[in-house]
Homo-oligomer: A and B are copies of this chain.
Amino acid sequence: MSLKSDVLQIAQSAREASLKLANLNTNIKNKALLTMAEELLKNADKIKKANKKDVETADGKGLSKAMIDRLTVSDKVVKNMSDGIREVAALPDPVGEISKMWKRPNGLLVGKMRIPLGVIGIIYEARPNVTADAAALCLKSGNAVILRGGSEAINSNLAIAKVLQDACKKEGIPDTAIQVVPTTDREAVLEMLKLEEYIDLIIPRGGEGLIRFVVENSKIPVIKHYKGVCHIFVDESADVDMAEKICFNAKVQRPGVCNAMETLLVHKKIGKRFLPKMGKKYQKADVELRGCAETRKILSYAKPATEDDWSAEYLDLILAVKIVKDMDEAIAHIAKYGSLHTESIITKDYHNSQRFLREVNSSTVLVNASTRFSDGFQLGLGAEIGISTTKIHAFGPMGLEELTTQKFIIYGDGQVRE
């Protein structure tokens, strides 16, 4: 079978499955999820065996230790996948919810009912646990899913998907609800991205290169974020101890993720009180500082920041630091260099806190808290399928609800239009 007809057939059978999934009772979906969680544990050895092949290939190709770490499926990773699916089973089902209903002057009762999107394509890179996470979230929200992971993880992904598919069948759900594209070259992705008739949404997860490739080639709507250049603005009135604690946490607690702080903006009136002690804490934690000229007058050991630093997503223990003359400059800097991801203000001033929340139009805006909270679990969505920095459909961390849409439902008793 050709690659093209292969991908087409997957998409068509996913569309067919989606019509059934849309009308499944919550109980049935939850039962299938619990079976999946159980079967993952039972089949841990099979999954690890398949994963070993991937790891050996990666080793042979000389992939970095960090890459191999992310690729490796241990007993703990299997346990985490299983637990994650149990958590999804415990979440409320968004499908069928009617959020509001209103009556029109002619007596029509109009409401909005939540329904699944249909078929969702996930295009991702090395981490095999995405296979289980994404499949569970899509099933719970009544969507069929087409998973296209990276070539490095293909054996692991197929093995995990097989377990999930078998669990579906066991519970009377078509196994085409969860499918993996078995060919891993980019041609398969290109084929997928053309099938707007069968696939409703594409979510790419991975590096900026992969995401740009998907956006440029897709006829299907794409929800994504390219990168997270997150800012904290330490306002003139900030509690210095609180600012230190939050700025340390936002940079150091887990520097390799998209909601870590990359640029620190400091009001000039607090610079001398705040920066010296903060700088020492960062030095102790091996954070490299790159400062503007004003910053370097206070922190002589900071390297000079270049124009590129203001839009850099380091994902590392590096921080750009800029002193601004006021909040206007801070907001303008974020608008110019930011990525619409996550920004926080540290302040004691009521008016400044409200203005920052109102005027900074990033997907998550915080007052007196770490940027690291911009995460589906942390915000109480229960789970996260990804983060969107595109304002269309979803903005910010996306949970189950963002995998659905709403249709209008109307109860009449004979109304016609005059």
Contacts and interface: CB of A to CB of B under 8 A. Distances in A.
Interface of A: 19, 22-23, 96, 102, 104, 108, 110, 113, 115, 117-118, 196, 200-201, 215-216, 219, 221, 223, 239, 242, 245-246, 248-250, 253, 335, 353, 357-359, 361-370, 372-374, 378-380, 390-397, 405-417
A392 to B, nearest CB: 4
A245 B416 contact: yes
A414 B253 CA distance: 15
Contacts of A115: 361, 391
B370 A417 contact: yes
Given A110-B380, A367-B410, A374-B408, 10 more contacts: A22-B359, A115-B391, A118-B391, A200-B390, A216-B219, A221-B390, A242-B414, A362-B407, A364-B409, A367-B412
Contacts of A250: 416
Given A359-B23, A390-B221, A392-B221, A408 B364 contact: yes
Contacts of A363: 407-408
A247 to B, nearest CB: 9
A196 B221 CA distance: 13
A172 to B, nearest CB: 18
A397 B407 CA distance: 10
Given A104-B379, A372-B417, A414-B245, A23 B391 contact: no
The 6 closest A-B pairs by CB, nearest first: A369-B412, A249-B416, A372-B417, A393-B393, A391-B405, A221-B392
A102 B117 CA distance: 26
Contacts of A249: 416-417
8 contacts: A19-B335, A23-B358, A117-B391, A221-B390, A246-B416, A366-B410, A395-B405, A396-B408
Number of copies: 2
A411 to B, nearest CB: 5
Contact of A392 (B96, B108, B216, B393): B393
Contacts of A200: 390-392
Contacts of A110: 379-380
A251 to B, nearest CB: 11
A328 to B, nearest CB: 12
A201 to B, nearest CB: 6
Contacts of A19: 335
A410 B365 contact: yes
A365 B409 CA distance: 5
Nearest to A372: B417
A365 B70 CA distance: 46
B23 A367 contact: no
A242 B413 CA distance: 8
A248 B414 CA distance: 12
A373 B407 contact: no
Contacts of A370: 415-417
B357 A409 contact: yes
Given A201-B392, A393-B392, A410-B373, A358 B219 contact: no
A101 to B, nearest CB: 11
Contacts of A219: 215-216
Contacts of A215: 196, 219
Contacts of A196: 215
Contacts of A357: 113, 409
A244 B364 CA distance: 52
A353 B390 CA distance: 37
A408 B379 contact: yes
A311 to B, nearest CB: 13
Nearest to A404: B391
A410 B369 contact: yes
Contact of A410 (B216, B364, B395, B413): B364
A391 B407 CA distance: 9
